[in-house]
């Protein structure tokens, strides 16, 4: 084990343990919400520990680089989301033959589930907001799987979620204003 990791583990051991426990709880909640048979998926502790270890190592380095004592909740959520999507800790042990696509982005949607649980109260969304939210979630899951993202770009996306349209959107009848 790298010498730097040992000191990080020592410094953050309680937080690492708490984060692993939290993510195991989020995993159980996520699988239950999807109504997936728990015997069809697993969350190996070594993969979950890799997620949490990399999350804490990156945050530790970021804190040193920026000379800050604490990372804000958006940064923490962005790094966690990134590492869940990167390591893909959920293992599918048996695919549902009736709906195999539901397993394609299971880790990416788990990363988003953990992000939402950490930062938002999604119980109070209106139906219109929920429609927009679901559109964003689908795009985010796609990008986590098929595009190159890093924690900083995820942080920007999370911050953007807190904004409303500042300018009214053009409607499609106003003509194409693109240069291309």
Domain range enclosing 59:
2-162
Confidence of residue 52 (pLDDT cuts 50, 70, 90): very high
Q: Would you say residue 63 lies in a domain?
A: yes
Residue 116 CB burial class (10 angstroms; 0-12, 13-18, ≥19): middle
- Going by pLDDT thresholds of 50, 70 and 90, the confidence category of residue 163 is confident
Is the confidence at residue 14, as pLDDT, over 50?
Answer: yes
CB 83 within 8 A of CB 51: yes
Assess if residue 178 is contained within a domain. Answer: no
The verdict on residue 177 lying in a domain is no
**Cβ-contact 105, 14 below 8 angstroms:** no
Examine residue 133 and state whether it is found in any structural domain, yes or no: yes
C-alpha atoms less than 13 angstroms from C-alpha of 67 in its C-beta half-sphere: 0
Distance CA 40, CA 92 (A): 6
User: pTM score, two decimals?
Assistant: 0.85
Residue 151 lies in a domain: yes
Indicate the number of domains in the chain.
1
């Amino acid at each position: 084990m790298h010498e730097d990791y040992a000191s990080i583990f020592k410094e953050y051991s309680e937080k690492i343990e708490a984060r692993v426990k939290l993510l195991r709880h989020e995993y159980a909640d996520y699988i239950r919400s999807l109504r997936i048979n728990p015997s069809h998926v697993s969350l190996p502790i070594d993969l979950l520990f890799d997620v949490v270890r990399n999350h804490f190592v990156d945050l530790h380095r970021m804190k040193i680089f920026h000379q800050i004592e604490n990372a804000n909740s958006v940064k923490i959520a962005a790094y966690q989301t990134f590492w869940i999507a990167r390591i893909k800790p959920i293992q599918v042990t048996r695919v549902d033959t009736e709906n195999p696509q539901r397993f394609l982005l299971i880790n990416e949607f788990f990363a988003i589930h953990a992000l939402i649980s950490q930062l938002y109260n999604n119980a109070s969304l209106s139906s219109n907001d929920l429609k927009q939210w679901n559109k964003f979630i689908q795009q985010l899951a796609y990008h986590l799987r098929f595009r190159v993202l890093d924690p900083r770009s995820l942080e920007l996306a999370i911050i953007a979620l807190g904004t409303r349209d500042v300018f009214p959107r053009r409607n499609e009848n106003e003509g194409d204003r693109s240069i291309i």
